[in-house]
Amino acid sequence: MQNVLNALRVLEEVAARQPAGVGDLARGLEIPKSTVQRALLTLHTAGWIRQADGGGATRWVLTTKPLLVSRGATGDLSLRDVAVPVMEELRGRCDETVHLAVPEGGKVVLIERLETSQPVRIILPLGKNLPLHASANGKAVLAASGPEALERHLAEGLPRFTDTTLTEADGLRAELARIRERGYATNDGEWRTDVSATAAAVLGKAGRPVASISVNVPSSRVTSETRAAHGALVCEAAAGISAALGGTRAAERLPRPTP
């Protein structure tokens, strides 16, 4: 138990500051050197880390095993493989940065990105946590979730990020209704002043939102025409991914496959 927690913390630390030695890690984690050393050897025999090629001091780096494991991290049929081609098509049509995010623990997490060719870009690191009430992806997911998810989120409060952030429950409710009506969500500098986005939710087999796809544009580049155009595009893209995942968004029951 404690052993596993230590080893996983060491693993994360290795990932963060690779290539790293025993001393670095022990100091960064505030864990005795011996413990870190044992964790490193264990992770090595498990095939998760290896020693860097350079001779001298032993520096540890990750193997590709974490990558292998995270391949199935997004959903049943490898959401990423299905979504990326659709995202490429979408970016081709608008030439703006396209994001894919999945809901997790009261946030949405950015898991894939395709960049625009334009010089002014939105650049968020993969793995970034975005708030549910102040991002286009978050609001799209929230609008597609049940009311209990909304209440759960309201209970945690609506922190303000900019002066356009929705911090009132009623305002958020009205916004979500508008999103459900037109099918896509928008964000006009509600989280970072200069970031705007348009997003639509991807629905899984159970009709629940499993992801969200968005077009991200610097606020300075947004016009009412592009906004509407992006809305239509992300709706189409999200519907395409949902269908490819086998989503039953108002789909008729399929004839059962012959056994």
- Residue 38 in contact with a second copy, rule: CB under 8 A: yes
Residue 249 interacting entry, from a second copy, DNA, none, C-beta within 5 to 8 Å by type? none
Within 10 Å of residue 161's Cβ, how many Cβ atoms? 17
- Residue 40 in contact with a second copy, rule: CB under 8 A: no
Kindly write out the interface string for residues 122-161 of this chain, putting x where it contacts a second copy by CB under 8 A and - elsewhere: ---xxx----------------------------------
Contact 235, 136 (CB under 8 A): no
User: Binding segment for DNA among 54-62, 63-71, 105-113, 244-252 (CB under 7 A)?
Assistant: 54-62
Alpha-carbon gap, residue 187 to 7, rounded angstroms: 40
Q: If you count them, how many residues does the chain have?
A: 259
Handedness of CA 10, 16, 21, 27 (dihedral sign): negative
Would you call 153 helix, strand, or coil by DSSP?
Answer: helix
Alpha-carbon gap, residue 166 to 2, rounded angstroms: 41
Residue 22 interacting entry, from DNA, a second copy, none, C-beta within 5 to 8 Å by type? DNA
Shortest Å, Cβ 127 to a second copy: 4
- Residue 208 in contact with a second copy, rule: CB under 8 A: yes
| Candidate list 82, 90, 98, 102; residue touching a second copy; CB under 8 A | 102
Alpha-carbon gap, residue 180 to 142, rounded angstroms: 10
Distant-in-sequence, close-in-space partners of 241: CB < 8 Å, separation ≥ 6? 79, 82, 83, 86, 202, 211, 213
Within 10 Å of residue 217's Cβ, how many Cβ atoms? 25
User: Which residues of the shown chain bind DNA in the complex (CB under 7 A)?
Assistant: 1-3, 6, 21-24, 31-35, 37-40, 42, 56-59
Residues at the contact surface with a second copy, assessed by CB under 8 A: 1, 3-5, 7-8, 11-12, 15-16, 18-19, 38-39, 42-43, 45-46, 48, 50, 53-54, 62-64, 66-74, 76, 85, 102, 104-105, 109, 111, 115, 125-127, 206, 208
